Amino acid sequence: MALQWLLLLSLICSALLLVDVTHSASQDVRKAYIVYMGDKPKNEVPLSPLHLNMLQDVVHSRNIEDFEHEALLLHSYKRSFNGFAAMLTEQEAQKMGGMDGVVSVFPSKQSKIKTTKSWNFLGFPETVKRSKLERDIIVGVIDTGIWPESYSFSDAGFSPPPKKWKGKCQGNGNLTCNNKLIGARYYRASRSFEDDVESPRDSNGHGTHCASTAAGNLLSVAATTINRQFITKVQLGNGKIYEGLLPNIHDLKGKFYPLIYGGDAPNTKNGADASISRFCFQNSIDANLIKGKKAADEVLGLPPVSASYVSLEENRNIYKYINSTRNPTATIWKSEEINDVLAPYVPSYSSRGPNSAIPNILKPDLAAPGTYILAAVPPIDGGRLGGYNFKTGTSMACPHATAVAAYVKSFHPKWSPAAIQSALITTAKPMSTRVNPEAEFAYGAGLINPSRAPYPGLVYDLNEQDYINFLCSQGYSGKLLQTLTRDKTSCPKSNNGKVNDLNYPSFALSIKDPKFINGVFHRTVTNVGSSNSTYKAKVAASLGLKISVNPSVLSFTALGQKKSFTVTIAGPIEKSSLASASLVWDDGVFQVRSPIIVYVGI
């Protein structure tokens, strides 16, 4: 991920954002429009000046940033795609749509802030038909610990832990469990605890945030769903305004403060130098040097103060400004909320495929919300909203997947982990390559879909022997294999297993030459939908790919019945090193979708 900069303010204020994105200019009403320009350029072309020039051509003004005392350029999209949000009249929007390089122009619909949960974005209903089995599901989290005092872990209304629970609460004198947080342990590997405490109590914040996302209590706190973006503007003393991406609830009311670069204020008494203080690590800044000032730091976390992330390009301009005057000043405005109409898309911080260890296993499996997720944190992590804070990363996506897996298991307690994984993958919502050019290597099967996941129709199941055969095909044998299985397991003499034969709910084929493609996959599905059902295979493939399924019709007469089939892939791939496809088994009620990707291996 490209390094982003964070502008910090030492003064903490508390106010909530209310935004009006429409205004009147002369006799024409302006409103927010999204100008979509396709994929981001492969070269490092600065996009903000380009977008500003396009606006100047449309509105015939050379002072866009001060047009009627309001910035018309609301935001430049430059991380996952090329485009911008701007305040335009209907006539200007039509004119913009005819410009070279513009794919489409459409209004940005405004929505009020209503929910703390990304679950709304995923379409997860708060009330569903409850199974009698849907209770006593235990979610385990291995992380930095937990802050039990958070309301997210209150046990109000909870009955005692289920009888099957055999764990313990290793509080070590400073942590108490309850009927919600039923157990806690702490472990130390080879390192000492250093600044941490010898207990499950969280002194970092990561574990509390993830646990409350996966299995926290329902709350009602103002925030935003995942298809929103927070635009936070930074204004320098010279009048320049730069946009950043960060939820900022603190209102400075336009007051300017002295500005200092964190690298110029190291806490030398604590052993820090500029290489440390530039990142604003704890105790690395000399408090006397930054008192009453704003600090420009290279930080990736979300602080409990007014802050805004800016790009490297904007960072350089801010740094130049700091060094160009004796008294640099700046202010940070409250965030503006805009509807991210192109969501969901996979941001740059997310890990991507292909799978370097096993090229013919698709990475990732699927996508889940991970940007600006609001969840519980301990006081040391600076809870900005009464013990809650926003965090971003793949670590925030994982507890969403964990929660949905637990939800599926509550309906199907006897399903194997592989069957649950299959349900999550085959029911995921397909995502668009328009804003995710890496296709399946960015989002896998697509966006996790909790409302459909308990009802997949068919599952691709795996048992222990399947995994052993797979490990044997990868060269694991003898003591190495027994180290993993913890018994006297050995590879069968007749084992001729291949990666392609692992009963996985997706298909990945790494090739050397795009002109010559030949891949064969063997799969078996188990009927978990309707007892009497007939599924037909539907294949969608990129130009050049030839995919056949044999047999192409699977008929079932009972639940739990298994049927096998073969998928054959031939080529060539035309004009690309990557080609996407999909296989859907459809019985008219259930659609069981598996992603397929063929690519030239590195």
What's the rounded Cα separation, in Å, for the pair 602 and 600?
7
Range among 7-16, 73-82, 119-128 with highest mean pLDDT value: 73-82
Backbone angles phi, psi at 324, to 5 degrees: -100, -5
Buried b (16+ CB within 10 A) or exposed e, 193-203: eeebeebbbbb
The sheet with strand 578-586 has its strands ordered as 507-511, 591-600, 578-586, 533-541, 553-556
Comparing 6-15, 172-181, 346-355, the range with the smallest average pLDDT is: 6-15
Give the pLDDT score at 6.
Answer: 32
Residue that wins the pLDDT comparison between 392 and 572: 572
As annotated, the active-site residues are 143, 206, 395
Give the pLDDT score at 291.
Answer: 67
Q: 34 is written with which tokens? A: 């999204």
Residue that wins the pLDDT comparison between 530 and 389: 530
Task: Say which residues have a Cβ less than 8 Å from residue 42's Cβ, sequence separation at least 6.
Answer: none
What's the rounded Cα separation, in Å, for the pair 193 and 200?
12
Q: Tell me how many degrees the CA angle 446-448-453 measures, rounded to the nearest 5.
A: 120
H-run or E-run covering 399: helix 394-411
Count of helix runs (H) and strand runs (E) in the chain: 11, 24
Cα Rg for the chain, rounded, in angstroms? 27
DSSP of 238-279, one letter per residue?
Answer: TS-EEEEES------TT--EEEEEGGGSB-GGGT--HHHHTT
- Residues 254-295: tens digit of each pLDDT: 888 888 887 777 777 877 787 777 777 667 777 776 666 555
With contact defined as beta carbons under 8 Å apart, do 249 and 384 qualify?
yes
* Residue for token pair 């409850």: 130
Nearest C-alpha neighbor of 585 from the set 528, 547, 552, 536: 536
Residue that wins the pLDDT comparison between 72 and 550: 550
Beta strand 294-297 pairing with 257-261: parallel
Sign of CA dihedral 426, 431, 437, 443: negative
What's the rounded Cα separation, in Å, for the pair 135 and 410?
6
Q: Tell me how many degrees the CA angle 404-410-416 measures, rounded to the nearest 5.
A: 80
Class of domain 503-600: mainly beta
List, in sequence order, the alpha helices (H) in 414-463.
417-426, 440-443
- Residues 18-67: tens digit of each pLDDT: 222 223 333 367 888 888 887 666 666 678 788 888 888 888 654 444 44
Q: 274 is written with which tokens? A: 């500029």
Give the pLDDT score at 296.
Answer: 57
What's the rounded Cα separation, in Å, for the pair 199 and 212?
19
Nearest C-alpha neighbor of 507 from the set 571, 564, 583, 565: 583
In which residue ranges of the chain is CATH 2.60.40.2310 found?
503-600
Mean pLDDT of 441-448: 88
- Residues 147-197: tens digit of each pLDDT: 999 888 989 888 899 888 999 999 888 899 999 999 999 887 545 555 566
3-state secondary structure 533-556: EEEEEEEEECCCCEEEEECCEEEE
Where on the phi/psi map is residue 557: left (φ > 0), alpha (ψ -120 to 50), or beta? alpha
pLDDT range class, residue 482, cuts 50, 70, 90: confident
Task: Say which residues have a Cβ less than 8 Å from residue 447's Cβ, sequence separation at least 6.
Answer: 122, 344, 366, 367, 368, 428, 429, 431
- Residues 496-524: tens digit of each pLDDT: 668 889 999 999 999 988 888 999 999 99
- Residues 555-599: tens digit of each pLDDT: 999 999 999 999 999 988 877 788 999 999 999 999 999 999 999
- Residues 534-553: tens digit of each pLDDT: 999 999 998 889 999 999 99
The yes-or-no verdict on residue 303 having pLDDT over 60 is no
Sign of CA dihedral 193, 196, 199, 202: negative
The yes-or-no verdict on residue 86 having pLDDT over 50 is yes
Give the pLDDT score at 1.
Answer: 30
Beta strand 591-600 pairing with 507-511: parallel
Give the pLDDT score at 526.
Answer: 98
